[in-house]
Structure 1
Amino acid sequence: MKFSILIAHYNNAHFFKDCLDSIQKQTYTDWEAIVLDDASSENEKKMVQEMISKDKRFTFFENEKNSGVGVTKSKLIELAKGEICGFLDPDDAISPTAIQKCIDIFKTKKETVLTYSRFMTCDQNLKPIAPFRSAMQVPNGDPCFFNFPIQIAHFVSFRKSTYEQTEKMNPNLKIGEDQDLYLKLYEKGKVQFIDDTNYFYRTHQGGISQNDNKKQSHEYFAQVIFNTMKRRGLAAINGRKIPENYPGAEEIFDLLQYQHQLPFRIKKKIKITLQSIFG
């Protein structure tokens, strides 16, 4: 079972060595790594190409013009030859057993379409700061699940055959394209949490969803949730009508505030426990 590591690169060559090293240290060896460059500077492209040149498991492609992360990640999935795919940002890294733990689940649980784990937030030198504690198993088969607050994050892997059954990745999204993908895949089968820290997330000034981009990221995520509600044919949620047209981020997130309340959280925990027992 081949695993395709998908890397959307844009001017991050100075961080890429850590990413490369973590891939080459994988205990699972049947993998390919595809780098798609989104019109970085010539020097940046050259640096990445030199770093991967001695490992034939890496392939390098480039967009003719800067197209954004939605287009780039969509193309990466199309290029993948593996049965299982997983995105790895070029400024981040994964643990040595990250791929092996994903593959073990896909081999034994045929109904699982997506896996995810914990991640560690790190500084710009990839030194650990704090673990992402919100990651946990989510209930399967719930039409009102929108990954809010975010629990499915890194390291996510998925079956390419299942992806082909969805509306696929939205190329128009500049931020939130990953959450859009996860929610589409969620609708096609079961998702499985891996209770290990398998991803190391680097924080730095250039991060696409960090710092000055946080407000924009919030807006994109709200649009993703609204589109998901419409795709699932929902007219109301928790007794409140869903607007016909996108009303803005605050109104969308207000509709979901009940999911923070204790009664809902207790019911969710019971559902997850029952699903873990009875499948």
Structure 2
Amino acid sequence: MKARVSVCIPFYNCGHYITETLNSVFASTYPDLEVIIFNDGSTDRKSLETLLVIEQTYSNLKIIHSENLGVAAARNKIAEIASGEYIAFLDADEQVSPTFYAQAVKVLQQYKNVGFVASWIKEFGDSEKVWVAWNTEFPYLLAHNTLGVCTVVRKAAYLATGGMKSLLAENLEDYECWINMSEKGWLGVVISELHYFYRIRSDSRLQKSNREQLLYLYELIAALHPELYQDYGAEIYHFLNQNGASWLWDNPSQNTVELNVNSTGMVKDNPLES
């Protein structure tokens, strides 16, 4: 339905957090929301009991039960089912501000080349870090992911570009999706306000990941987009050197050098030149 936002929440054993997540969604100022929870084969008894209570509590909520597909496939399934012109991804332990959906739809309606809208991120739980991001632009998006999964996406663009890939379901499936949509001409706009509240917990999928896994996934993303990384290879090279050249790396021969770093993390002067 035109201008409807379908909030898509994949759920796997997150009974402890889902009520807080739903409270944040239903506090939204946006008038036309469809909320879909996709139970991706949960096994925890208390989580299943919580879903049953939620189903009886909220009349404007749809719960779909499935065997375990993995988070990427679960999001794609919800996107296919959703009736809204826009789909809003949100994980079952996260929260969103009351005004985010309204602001995001305003951007999507004003700019037809925008495929998705995100915001700055505020962590909570085991961290209070703030993540600042900018509109998706190459080569910056290729060098590092500063977006989260909490985005409002133009459904037609998401489905046309293939959605999220189960190949990357261990992590970074959303990151590759934003790269893929941007490569195919859809701009990602980031609202410079804190609308996405990302829970940090020790048992989360991201916290359980390791360096080797992430390096493998980054290599896989590059292999999925060879022309993109080839076209922007030189710019990525200059970008990384500008923000952290090799003489800033861990070097035992220079371990007494103190770097002069400003508030943005950029080195103001090369200490080896003095």
Structure 1 length-normalised TM: 0.77
Unaligned 5+ runs, structure 2: 245-274
Q: Decide which of 35, 51, 58 is 2:61's aligned counterpart.
A: 58
Q: Match for residue 4 of structure 1? A: 6
Distance 1:235 1:131, change over 3 A: closer
Distance 1:203 1:115, change over 3 A: same
Q: Decide which of 105, 129, 134 is 1:136's aligned counterpart.
A: 134
Distance 1:79 1:221, change over 3 A: farther
Percent identity between the aligned chains?
Answer: 21
Q: Distance between the aligned counterparts of 2:156 and 2:231, measured in 1?
A: 31
Letter in 1 for 2:20: D
Report the CA distance between 1:213 and its aligned residue: 4.5
1:192 counterpart SS class: strand
Q: Distance between the aligned counterparts of 1:188 and 1:52, measured in 2?
A: 39
Larger radius of gyration: 2
Q: Distance between the aligned counterparts of 1:53 and 1:256, measured in 2?
A: 52
Alignment of 1:243-258 (within 5 A): 256-258=236-238
Alignment of 1:137-152 (within 5 A): 137-139=135-137, 142=138, 144=139, 146-152=141-147
Q: Match for residue 254 of structure 2? A: none
Q: Match for residue 157 of structure 2? A: 162
Unaligned 5+ runs, structure 1: 240-254, 265-279
Q: Distance between the aligned counterparts of 1:200 and 1:92, measured in 2?
A: 6
Q: Match for residue 176 of structure 2? A: 180
Report the CA distance between 1:169 and its aligned residue: 2.2
Distance 1:185 1:101, change over 3 A: same
Q: Match for residue 86 of structure 2? A: 84
1:184 counterpart SS class: helix
Q: Distance between the aligned counterparts of 1:48 and 1:129, measured in 2?
A: 29
Q: Distance between the aligned counterparts of 1:72 and 1:55, measured in 2?
A: 22
Q: Match for residue 267 of structure 2? A: none
CA contact (8 A) 1:169 1:177 kept: yes
Q: Match for residue 242 of structure 1? A: none
Q: Distance between the aligned counterparts of 1:33 and 1:132, measured in 2?
A: 26
Q: Match for residue 15 of structure 2? A: 13
User: How many residue pairs get matched?
Assistant: 239
Report the CA distance between 1:23 and its aligned residue: 0.6
Letter in 2 for 1:54: T
Q: Match for residue 260 of structure 1? A: 240
Letter in 1 for 2:154: R
Distance 1:147 1:5, change over 3 A: farther
Q: Distance between the aligned counterparts of 2:223 and 2:163, measured in 1?
A: 17
1:262 counterpart SS class: helix
Q: Match for residue 267 of structure 1? A: none
Q: Decide which of 189, 192, 195 is 2:189's aligned counterpart.
A: 192
Q: Match for residue 203 of structure 1? A: 200
Q: Distance between the aligned counterparts of 1:106 and 1:260, measured in 2?
A: 32
2:225 counterpart SS class: helix
2:196 counterpart SS class: strand
Structure 2 length-normalised TM: 0.78
Q: Distance between the aligned counterparts of 1:26 and 1:53, measured in 2?
A: 21
Between 5-14 and 219-228, report the one with greater CA deviation: 219-228
Q: Match for residue 103 of structure 1? A: 105
